[in-house]
Structure 1
């Protein structure tokens, strides 16, 4: 079955290709002569009409000339004269005028492009759109019928040149397809409306319509027999025009019926059908009213159908564009835009037409001016309609500055989605602002009620930025200050230096900055709310009253601990990548100065003391980074990391510090996350001992007790009342006695404390044995 289907498809494509090749050969091999003849009473063949845009208008032919011979033979022997009463596909013609014989050669004559190149272009355009629709929108029945409409129009364009040149196959093809065209269009409309949810319309009557087309096609078979061809051909044009007009009327009445039926619903169907009616009228009114109706009534068209037929493409091409770009459901907006562009195009089109009338006064007829007006109107409308799309695609070339600003804006907007820290604004926003605007530096100041936070990029004075934020200065002699947010709790500002080129910001730059500020306003508010929420969550986590509630809020505790660790790691990484690196290079610069400069002894000692002080800062910062992110947990394990911390702290703390372990080998097989919690507990015990205990002796023991691990802490300090400790305010580190208890409960451990004022502190923490191994 599939093979038969493929065979039929190949056969049809082969026949179509053969037809197109044949029509192309006839069109470009022979000129369109366009001489219409009639036999007078003396049996002479007299020229009665010279077709528009034909080669005969450029040759020595006049209406009333008598044709003596064509290619050396009497005219009646020429097939085109026998069949159509016209001279085509000839080489030399001998005419008689005022008793003189004149020989005219027509082989090198050229007709207008409207009978050769233009139809060929229309053929390629329509067939390409048909293929594109068939490939891109296979699922829609209406789009398949629309592709058939394009195939129909494409074949009409293909056969146009051959038919005009007297080819029998071309005349049969074009006249038959002109009758089929409105029927296929009606098929498209019925399926299109049905797919939009309207009631189905019966199509069984169309088989009789196709029957009429088939009968006329059989009659056209007589065109192959010269003796009887003209007897049928003389009625052919009228039959085709009447049938075509009836088919267009059927389409119009069907669309009007659907609109009348749904007009009061206010639904999408009524809107789209009204739009379709307007587009259908715009597409077919020029062709019908200016060409076919005058030709049917008077025998001559007012405007050559070779030109008005191009308006027919407006409707199907518009629908093809909307379907392919998925804008069909916005068709009312699209058509409103088209109508607006048409209105804008009327004045320049009229102006150009008037100029043509003044310049070519002798040659400009009303018909030419009307055709020119509609042609110019169409071209300008299309240019205005697609101008935005073209400019968007070529923006990188036409408006490079605007394009790069928009790309940077998209990048910043995308990065701001995931921002969680005020410090991230430097990389996400300020770097791009400094780069795109070519300024010396930029800063964002965040003024709280009790402090000012700043982030800077480039060369900008930190002290001046903080002064501007503190005093809320907006008019500064050298810096541009732009407010981002202002409310009762905080104020934020964007501060810029001058441009490197010492020029003013352009309108595009200012517009871009305003868009950045609008994005920043939302992000700064989110950051402020995130900070407040974190504080409230930490307070809530520390004040959960009992172990049972703690188990119920296990997910909540884990989330809080993960957020804290992520923030500590980020801060440690920032310090390592920025401040520590700066200190390293600063130390190297001082050393280089000492080597290159011949310093006196006292200056040399001062320089060495400065280098030593930088080294102390560097060591302290490294220790802070380690406390924030204890990377040694992964490298040497929990016990050894705690031991190193104890050793370093014992050198500085005012009490005797001891650390004991017993049977702790299995601890190293715990997950790294659990090791982090145990390390944080020990870290907080040491911090509390240094700040509050006033002890002389502190000891920490980690040991295995059966299937559990025990962490014991003991000091001989001042102690505290247990009820006081339960409501400690959480410090900047986010830890405290209740934070330690939260960690223990999160690890399914137990917590026991014994203390009172003046008796020191004893703390026992037991953790269950873990089976999960560290990676």
Structure 2
């Protein structure tokens, strides 16, 4: 019901716009644009000016011709002559030309091109704006910014239709044109203020918008009054106001962009700027500036208005879309295409000017038009080339798909492979299948340059290896010669593993796609081989642990790092999926409870809601324990105080804690390790110790950080606690202490409690006091 009421006013505005548009379309259809200005000299009505785009120009009406009658009546009685000193909305005209009386019937000649400029383009533009408005209304998008956007689309959309009627001196069309010129940019400014407020961005204060509406209303009234006073010849106030407002919007957007160019909101502003300039710049560059400089446009004003549709589309995209395109990528790609197109166009035009003797050389506008067509064609082809190639790739590059399948097959097959022999055999097979080679061989080059077949494990002689041996230190470099190519894949203990392939006869040169495929699969293979070597090295070191039962510190640190990373990922997944789903379900229950009158059912829903929220609270506690994100925000001391509060609430023992004021370590990994150690000690006390008292002290003395823990629980036999690596329990505490280069002393016996002291050297780390 609320949305229905909000939609009434936009619907009324749209219907009023449709009625006005139908009237102005009717005026445009019935009356060709004549384009003849007249002046009264004595009793005669003389042609003063003939528009370059109108019926008068096409029918050879010239300045100085005498108007004898309009619609077979006194020309001075025609209302457009009387009010505007121009001839419009006339059916016939009689002129005295070169002492000869000529009678003209004013009508369109077939499907006149003015139908396209004054009717087809404007109607398509208006229907597009109306369609966008209807789309927003059907979606019931009645937020403050969307409602303003609907008003903007209706006012802006009718502008081109009203311009056609206004040029024919239709009073309604003239009034609507003035209204659109004055209020379009004010509505745009209002929309941007509302839209950016949604993103907490400051664009302009609402008071200034209200002032703009007031000033715009005064400008509109003044412009309408000024039209009735023919003796005053001033620049149109509405156009002056439009220009000032346009400059103001540009200043505000520039300021907003500079303030947010380092934030995630930058792309929103870039999309807006792109839509705004893509709409108006063609009119300025192709019509306004050439007309001022050369008194002749590169493109008719009516044709440049085609680009106006980009502004409504960009505004719709901002309002509706939840994901935005990467404008920086688009701009960089477009800049690259424009640069290449400019160079290519310059070469073509210079060559054209040097080698042609056409009359076009004397017409700067024609040269500019030709340059524009070439430049635009090059830019479009370059920009959309990738997409066209992608759509036609199956026909243009049928084998390229085979290469993609080959890479996918190779990676899928080898991703779990742990034996180098099978990995290299897979590479050899792919090379032989996809490249023009007769044979591919994997060779191991010894330190004395003797060659062994890697897969067959026997010494061989291969003539293609000679060039490679001289430069075998460049791993991954493809060496080509007349018989084939060779690639060093890896080096270990002075021995090189080399891929050798012989060209198939007659030799065929590798295409660019084949070259890229070969380099890619070689790079993948090198990475896999390097990983296998590293795994072998780690496994070799781990195999020695059976003797001394001691995990190297660097492996301990690595495993702890992996453990924390997985904890973090799990916490994020739980928070972003299950927890959010639970909260969303609770909100839906809230909405449904407002629609139900059954008290018992409401109570049931309320109990269900409370249960869901309880589970959400538990899940939030779990995610916090998995990944204490607050640790980096609050620091170690505040995080521990929060942990101690939870322990005091949940523990069944007396807990005494003492924290020094300067216990914060700047190194985040060590800070997290200390938090985990204390967390594990207290969890063990709650779950296993059966203690009645627990004491924990954390303090700094000189360059040492001390953690002392004592409880009176059941204790344990510390000497028999040795076990494989774990991130939990006493073993986990031990490994974490080793990971931060600390020392651990434990004193515990069965039935005599548990004592632990951890000392961390702080001298090598900076401290935050």
How high is the TM-score relative to the length of structure 1?
A: 0.53
Distance 2:183 2:486 in 1: 71
Distance 1:453 1:322 in 2: 62
Q: 1:200 to 1:250 in 2, by over 3 A?
A: closer
| SS of corresponding position for 2:186 | helix
Residue 709 of structure 2: aligned partner: none
8 Å Cα contact 1:445-1:469 kept in structure 2: no
Residue 6 of structure 2: aligned partner: 5
After the TM superposition, which residues 434-449 of structure 1 pair with which residues of structure 2 at under 5 Å, given as runs?
434-437=432-435, 439=437, 442=440
Residue 186 of structure 1: aligned partner: 189
Q: Give how far 1:535 is off.
A: 5.6
Deviations 1:72-104 (A, max 9, x none): 444456555455444344443322224422122
Q: 1:289 to 1:518 in 2, by over 3 A?
A: closer
2:249 pairs with 1:244: no
8 Å Cα contact 2:192-2:203 kept in structure 1: no
Deviations 1:142-176 (A, max 9, x none): 89978977766543334443433444443333332
Q: 1:158 to 1:48 in 2, by over 3 A?
A: same
Q: Give how far 1:63 is off.
A: 1.9
| SS of corresponding position for 2:63 | coil
Deviations 1:192-229 (A, max 9, x none): 7767876553131222322333355567889xxxxx97
Residue 33 of structure 1: aligned partner: 34
Q: Give how far 1:496 is off.
A: 3.9
8 Å Cα contact 1:33-1:111 kept in structure 2: no
**The one of 152, 176, 179 aligned to 1:176:** 179
2:105 pairs with 1:102: no
| SS of corresponding position for 1:504 | coil
Q: Give how far 1:232 is off.
A: 8.4
8 Å Cα contact 1:53-1:114 kept in structure 2: no
Q: 1:507 to 1:174 in 2, by over 3 A?
A: same
After the TM superposition, which residues 331-346 of structure 1 pair with which residues of structure 2 at under 5 Å, given as runs?
331=328, 334-335=330-331, 338-346=334-342
Residue 60 of structure 1: aligned partner: 60
Distance 2:381 2:373 in 1: 12
Residue 503 of structure 1: aligned partner: 508
Distance 2:391 2:120 in 1: 30
8 Å Cα contact 1:193-1:269 kept in structure 2: no
8 Å Cα contact 2:440-2:500 kept in structure 1: yes
Q: Give how far 1:243 is off.
A: 1.0
8 Å Cα contact 2:267-2:324 kept in structure 1: no
Q: Give how far 1:246 is off.
A: 1.5
Distance 2:7 2:304 in 1: 38
8 Å Cα contact 1:341-1:381 kept in structure 2: yes
- How many residue pairs match? The answer is 532
Distance 1:139 1:488 in 2: 72
8 Å Cα contact 2:465-2:486 kept in structure 1: no
Q: Give how far 1:105 is off.
A: 2.9
Residue 531 of structure 2: aligned partner: 526
Q: Give how far 1:520 is off.
A: 0.8
Q: Which has the larger radius of gyration?
A: 1
Distance 2:353 2:19 in 1: 43
8 Å Cα contact 1:220-1:232 kept in structure 2: no
Deviations 1:222-273 (A, max 9, x none): 9xxxxx974489879712211111112322443565578x59x987889998
Distance 1:156 1:199 in 2: 30
Distance 2:466 2:297 in 1: 78
Distance 1:416 1:233 in 2: 88
Residue 688 of structure 1: aligned partner: none
Q: Give how far 1:531 is off.
A: 4.4
Q: Give how far 1:513 is off.
A: 0.2
**Structure 2, unaligned stretches of length 5 or more?**
469-479, 551-558, 560-723, 725-769
Residue 48 of structure 1: aligned partner: 48
Distance 1:154 1:250 in 2: 22
Q: Give how far 1:36 is off.
A: 2.7
Distance 2:231 2:430 in 1: 75
8 Å Cα contact 1:341-1:384 kept in structure 2: yes
Q: 1:538 to 1:268 in 2, by over 3 A?
A: closer
Distance 1:371 1:233 in 2: 39
**The one of 246, 252, 255 aligned to 1:254:** 252
Distance 1:427 1:18 in 2: 77
Q: Give how far 1:181 is off.
A: 3.0
Q: 1:151 to 1:14 in 2, by over 3 A?
A: closer
| SS of corresponding position for 1:204 | helix
Residue 493 of structure 2: aligned partner: 488
Q: Give how far 1:517 is off.
A: 0.1
**Structure 1, unaligned stretches of length 5 or more?**
223-227, 456-461, 547-554, 556-741, 743-775
Distance 2:61 2:172 in 1: 28
Q: Give how far 1:179 is off.
A: 1.9
8 Å Cα contact 2:121-2:306 kept in structure 1: no
Distance 2:508 2:292 in 1: 71
Residue 164 of structure 2: aligned partner: 161
8 Å Cα contact 1:447-1:470 kept in structure 2: no
Distance 2:40 2:106 in 1: 22
Distance 1:169 1:483 in 2: 81
How high is the TM-score relative to the length of structure 2?
A: 0.53
Comparing 391-400 with 171-180, greater Cα deviation is found at 391-400
8 Å Cα contact 2:296-2:365 kept in structure 1: no
Q: Give how far 1:484 is off.
A: 1.6
| SS of corresponding position for 1:102 | strand
Q: Give how far 1:514 is off.
A: 1.1
| SS of corresponding position for 1:48 | strand
**The one of 206, 211, 215 aligned to 2:209:** 206
Q: What root-mean-square deviation, in Å, do the aligned CA atoms of Structure 1 and Structure 2 show?
A: 5.8
Q: 1:375 to 1:454 in 2, by over 3 A?
A: same
8 Å Cα contact 2:443-2:451 kept in structure 1: no
8 Å Cα contact 2:345-2:371 kept in structure 1: yes
Distance 1:221 1:75 in 2: 25
After the TM superposition, which residues 214-233 of structure 1 pair with which residues of structure 2 at under 5 Å, given as runs?
214-215=217-218, 230-231=228-229
8 Å Cα contact 2:183-2:216 kept in structure 1: yes
Distance 2:230 2:391 in 1: 55
After the TM superposition, which residues 540-579 of structure 1 pair with which residues of structure 2 at under 5 Å, given as runs?
540=545
Q: Give how far 1:521 is off.
A: 0.4
2:522 pairs with 1:517: yes
Distance 2:343 2:283 in 1: 23
8 Å Cα contact 1:83-1:233 kept in structure 2: no
Distance 1:512 1:334 in 2: 27
Q: 1:319 to 1:221 in 2, by over 3 A?
A: closer
8 Å Cα contact 1:82-1:230 kept in structure 2: no
Deviations 1:103-130 (A, max 9, x none): 2233243345544555556657777888
Distance 1:438 1:300 in 2: 61
Distance 2:138 2:410 in 1: 38
**The one of 358, 361, 372 aligned to 2:359:** 361
Q: Give how far 1:341 is off.
A: 4.2
8 Å Cα contact 1:465-1:495 kept in structure 2: no
Deviations 1:17-46 (A, max 9, x none): 55556555655665433223334431x443
| SS of corresponding position for 1:33 | coil
| SS of corresponding position for 2:159 | helix
Deviations 1:469-497 (A, max 9, x none): 99999589866432222232764333445
Q: Give how far 1:59 is off.
A: 1.1
Q: 1:425 to 1:443 in 2, by over 3 A?
A: farther
Q: 1:507 to 1:377 in 2, by over 3 A?
A: closer
Comparing 195-204 with 229-238, greater Cα deviation is found at 229-238
Deviations 1:669-711 (A, max 9, x none): xxxxxxxxxxxxxxxxxxxxxxxxxxxxxxxxxxxxxxxxxxx
